[in-house]
A = this chain, B = another copy of it.
Amino acid sequence: MPVSTSRLEAFSDGVFAIAITLLVLEIRVPAGQGDHLWRALGHEWPSFAGFVVSFVTIGIIWVNHHGLFDSVREVNRPLLFLNLFLLLSVAFIPFTTALMADYLREGQGQDVATAVYAGSLLLMGWGFTALGQYLHRKRPPGYEELSEADRRELVVRSTAGWLVYAVAVAVAFVNAYAGLAICGLVALAYIPGRWLGTPES
């Protein structure tokens, strides 16, 4: 009684869309700031930065998820559970984003909080790489093989992604802002490239 690929994608899209939109609930309205509201909003910059970085990162994973599942015709049990693990890591991001933002604002404990944030992106990167590895190694029934060039690019990019997140975890312990900046740069770096849907390149 297999789950069809289109259903798996629709469910996953739902989780991506909800997680990306829930991020906003973690931004708190500063209370009772009266005439100092501008300054109070400026003080909230970690929430806004976290919102943007997490939003773009989940958006990119959504795009890549489709790239991956476009070549899958049938979903089997391991795929189902690797995918559930990826979704779990994505659904967890609103919490780690809020954690990082709160502690960057307070200016104490921000190293651990940012490391946890980068760690949650690392987890997501692992989830995505595991899905890709499974597909390219096991070649489940209905799997349309990628060209060698496509395959290599996928491996390089997804491995690079989580390696850089691992670096961000380490850097966060030295400087939280630098750790967050690396996470933001990964999102920027993913924007170009073939995996993001250019038909002709």
Contact = CB atoms under 8 A, between A and B. Distances in A.
A195 B3 CA distance: 10
Given A84-B56, A95-B29, A11 B102 contact: no
A194 B76 CA distance: 10
A21 B91 contact: yes
Nearest to A75: B197
Given A106-B32, A198-B77, A11 B2 contact: no
Contacts of A102: 29, 31
A1 to B, nearest CB: 4
B29 A98 contact: yes
Contact of A21 (B2, B9, B19, B32): B19
Interface residues of A, number: 75
Nearest 4 pairs of A and B residues by beta carbon: A14-B17, A34-B108, A1-B67, A37-B109
Interface of A: 1-3, 7, 9-11, 13-25, 27, 29, 31-38, 41, 51-52, 55-56, 59, 62-63, 66-67, 70, 74-77, 80-81, 84, 87-88, 91-92, 94-95, 98-99, 102-103, 106, 108-109, 112-113, 116, 141, 150, 191-192, 194-200
